[in-house]
Amino acid sequence: MNDYKKKIDELLLSVEKPARYVGGEWNVPDMKKQAKAKFCFCFPDIYEIGMSNLGLQILYDIINRHPDFIAERCYAPWTDMGAKLRENDIPLLSLETATPLKDFDVVGFSVQFELLYSNVLYMLDLAGIPFYAKDRGGEYPIICAGGPCAVNPEPFAPFFDCIVIGEGEEADLELLKKVAEGKEKGLSKVQILEELKKIEGVYVPSLLTEGERVVKAVVKDFENAPYPTKPLVPNIEIVHDRATLELYRGCASGCRFCQAGYYYRPIRERSAEKCAEYGREMINNSGFGEISLCSLSTSDYTGLMDLEKELRPFIDEKKITLALPSLRLSSFTKEMAQSSRRSSLTFAPEAGTQRLRNVINKNVTDEEIGNIGRAFEAGYDSVKLYFMLGLPTETDEDILGIAEICKRLRSLYIEIRKKRNLTISVSCSVFIPKPSTPFQWEAQISLDEMLRRQKLLRNALREIKGVSFSWHGAETSVLEVVLARGDKKLAPVIVRAYELGAKFDSWTEYFSWDIWTQAFADCGIDMGEYIGEISEDKDLPWDFIDIGVSKKYLLGQRHLAYQGITTKNCREGCNGCGANKLGRCTII
């Protein structure tokens, strides 16, 4: 036990949920092996959220399987622990061996969400590591980033030595190999970065030349890609407290607002046999009481029925449950409703009218919404519905359409079940035009308009019995769009916001709109610049990132949206988005 570990133990009883900080989860790999390079994964949110992240578990497993490398983890300490660390002069430490972040060869941040940018700085600050890459010499680790936000890395690029664009499975290992070699040969940091730049998917901000593009890293053989069949088993309850099976990557639906749907193309499925095998191994190795299937649109998975059939005897024998999240209405069957045994059903029509659903290419028809009746027959009494407000071309009629859907479900329920206790919870987020989607050029509606539309919907829903309504903060949505579509000029704004106290921005109790508006003002930058419509011929900060899907395709999709013309699901045939130049879409 090192000294830091002892010091931490003494602090633990004065903070909330001490088990967040002790590690020692079941299945933590061997941390004592001789390693040529050590990596520390940093997740800029608390343990319970970070531990639920599948991407991080996959990469952690891959590095630790390698005989030469070790990966540890570090989650953002909640503010109480952050303060204790400062008071006691303890730097931010890895969970497994209580090693200061500074002592690793590579520190890699998983950036999942724009509102976590301030927390990246919070963690660097606690670790005693300067924010800007240019201020860090060879005595510091290589600080890198990855995760969904790398789709437009520019706002945070100045903080990192390198950024992995796309899927890290192969890139992270290559990166460690090169870092280990560089160490052995005594290369300087710049020399190492020059080597890293050669890896597919690795963007080195300080070395990018004019006109150069970075091609996203893609796992080509997804079927045989390593999978964490010995998942870490947390000691406290986390957000996704179960074994997670990834069925496929990418999405065939082509919803025009959905960044993940485009970013994770090409579409690659794993066979049902393999998934079932992984599922059994995971349960046997972890003891989790539940398997959840994870993919962008799980019920579209070709082998879903086969997988269910393969796993059923095992599930019954072990007395565990199989959860089927985010079902698409179109592939919803009564059997699924029954076998998933959940208390509440979740659907995401996203928009209230067929017209608007055509615009966003959410191929859920009015008729299919009627399919929810099958769930009522199967015994469900509660439905959760997800919508977005502020979508391009949205009118008040579209918004009131949400209330119409609720009314329809209610009468359907009464008709089938002959009683009136259906509860419907409607959850609305605000549309955020995201990079690398057909809507990347769109404007976001103004704050006042967001509030007006929320009020309109709230009033309409109030008149329907059994409906509850919740919505996401309007101000955080504004910040999200600004950071999502930002450029390098925003890095100093993020630093300024952190200096003014921003952290845990994704937590309502910590988010402060005043801090951010102040930070923008102090840096002389107008948020409005990033919120309005972007002209189609303008260069975009993320144009140098090649995600496979071409800009021309995105633009074409945008124009189809305005005509209300839908694009077919890729499972019916390739739409020519361009992603297959990076790997085969296995569903075709």
Residue (24 or 313) nearer to other proteins, CB = 24
Q: Does 31 help bind other proteins (rule: CB under 8 A)?
A: no
Contacts of 275 (CB under 8 A, 6+ apart): 245, 247, 303, 307
Q: Which stretch binds other proteins (CB under 8 A): 30-38, 231-239, 247-255, 439-447?
A: 231-239
Q: Which residue in 128, 289, 501, 576 binds other proteins (CB under 8 A)?
A: 289
- Which amino acid is located at 585 in the chain? C
Of 25, 130, 14, 149, the closest CA to residue 78 belongs to 14
Q: Which residue in 265, 362, 453, 485 binds ligand SF4 (CB under 6 A)?
A: 265
Q: Please give the Cα distance from 251 to 297 (Å, whole number).
A: 7
Q: Does 218 help bind ligand SF4 (rule: CB under 6 A)?
A: no
Q: Does 313 help bind other proteins (rule: CB under 8 A)?
A: no
Q: Does 24 help bind other proteins (rule: CB under 8 A)?
A: yes
Residues in the chain: 588
Residue 211 — φ and ψ, nearest 5°? 80, -5
Residue 286 interacting partner from other proteins, ligand SF4, none (CB closer than 5 to 8 Å by kind)? other proteins
Tokens 């109480």 belong to which residue? 80
Classify burial at 516, counting beta carbons within 10 Å of its beta carbon; exposed 0-12, middle 13-18, buried 19 or more.
buried
Q: Which residue in 267, 283, 364, 491 binds ligand SF4 (CB under 6 A)?
A: 267
> 131 to each of 46, 155, 158, 399, how far by Cα in Å?
20, 13, 8, 43
Residue (321 or 580) nearer to other proteins, CB = 321
Which run of H or E residues covers position 40? strand 37-43
Residue (3 or 537) nearer to other proteins, CB = 3
Q: Please give the Cα distance from 153 to 176 (Å, whole number).
A: 21
Q: Which residue in 226, 287, 528, 532 binds other proteins (CB under 8 A)?
A: 287
Task: Print the binding letters for residues 240-279 with other proteins: x by CB under 8 A, - otherwise.
Answer: ----------------------------------------
Tokens 């046999």 belong to which residue? 273
Q: Which stretch binds ligand SF4 (CB under 6 A): 21-29, 318-326, 431-439, 580-588?
A: 580-588
Q: Which residue in 7, 9, 197, 338 binds other proteins (CB under 8 A)?
A: 9
What three-state secondary structure class fits 382? strand
Q: Which residue in 3, 13, 535, 537 binds other proteins (CB under 8 A)?
A: 13
Residue (48 or 269) nearer to other proteins, CB = 48
Q: Does 580 help bind ligand SF4 (rule: CB under 6 A)?
A: yes
Contacts of 81 (CB under 8 A, 6+ apart): 11, 15, 20, 21
Q: Does 570 help bind ligand SF4 (rule: CB under 6 A)?
A: yes
Q: Does 286 help bind other proteins (rule: CB under 8 A)?
A: yes
Residue (117 or 263) nearer to ligand SF4, CB = 263
Of 181, 224, 222, 225, the closest CA to residue 199 belongs to 181
Residue (284 or 427) nearer to other proteins, CB = 284
Q: Does 416 help bind ligand SF4 (rule: CB under 6 A)?
A: no
Q: Please give the Cα distance from 476 to 510 (Å, whole number).
A: 11
Of 586, 528, 504, the closest CA to residue 270 belongs to 586
DSSP string, 438-456: TTTTPPPPPHHHHHHHHHH
Number of residues this chain uses to bind ligand SF4 (CB under 6 A):
12
Q: Which residue in 4, 12, 427, 529 binds other proteins (CB under 8 A)?
A: 12
Residue (17 or 458) nearer to other proteins, CB = 17
Q: Does 555 help bind ligand SF4 (rule: CB under 6 A)?
A: no
Report the Cα 380 to chain-centroid distance in Å.
Answer: 29
Q: Interface residues with other proteins (CB under 8 A)?
A: 9-10, 12-13, 18-19, 22-26, 233, 235-237, 283-289, 318-320
Instruction: List residues near ligand SF4 by CB under 6 A.
Output: 265-267, 570, 574-577, 579-580, 585, 588
